[in-house]
Copies of this chain bind each other. A is one copy, B any other.
Amino acid sequence: MDEGGRSPDLADVELLGLLSYLQLTAFSRLAADAEMAPGYPQRAAAARMAVGHYQCFEALTERLAALGADPPSSMRPFMAPIDAFHSRTRPNSWLQSLVKVYVGDGIAQDFYREISLYAAPGTRDLVHSVLRDTELADFAVAEVKSAIARDSAVAGPLALWGRRLVGEAFTQAQHIAAERDALASLVVSETDLGELGRMFTRITSAHEDRMARLGLSA
Seen from chain A, the residues whose Cβ lies within 8 Å of a Cβ on chain B are: 24-25, 27-28, 31-32, 34-35, 39-41, 43-44, 47-48, 50-51, 54, 57, 61, 71-72, 75
Given contacts A31-B32, A32-B32, contact A75 B40 (CB under 8 A): yes
Chain B residues with CB under 8 A of A71: 40
Identify 15 residue pairs between A and B in the complex whose beta-carbon atoms are under 8 Å apart, listed by A's number.
A24-B43, A24-B47, A27-B31, A27-B47, A28-B34, A28-B35, A28-B47, A31-B31, A31-B50, A32-B32, A41-B72, A44-B61, A48-B54, A50-B54, A51-B54
Residue of B nearest to A83 (CB): B35
Chain B residues with CB under 8 A of A31: 27-28, 31-32, 50
Query: What is the CB-to-nearest-CB distance from A142 to chain B, in angstroms, rounded to a whole number?
Result: 18
Chain B residues with CB under 8 A of A25: 35
Q: How far is the CA of A72 from the CA of B39 in the complex (A)?
A: 9
Chain B residues with CB under 8 A of A51: 51, 54
Q: How far is the CA of A51 from the CA of B28 in the complex (A)?
A: 10
Q: How far is the CA of A75 from the CA of B39 in the complex (A)?
A: 12
Chain B residues with CB under 8 A of A39: 72
Chain B residues with CB under 8 A of A47: 24, 27-28, 54, 57
Given contacts A47-B54, A57-B47, contact A32 B28 (CB under 8 A): yes
Q: How far is the CA of A209 from the CA of B95 in the complex (A)?
A: 45
Asked if B27 contacts A72 (CB within 8 A), the reply is no
Residue of B nearest to A75 (CB): B40
Q: How far is the CA of A43 from the CA of B44 in the complex (A)?
A: 23
Chain B residues with CB under 8 A of A61: 44
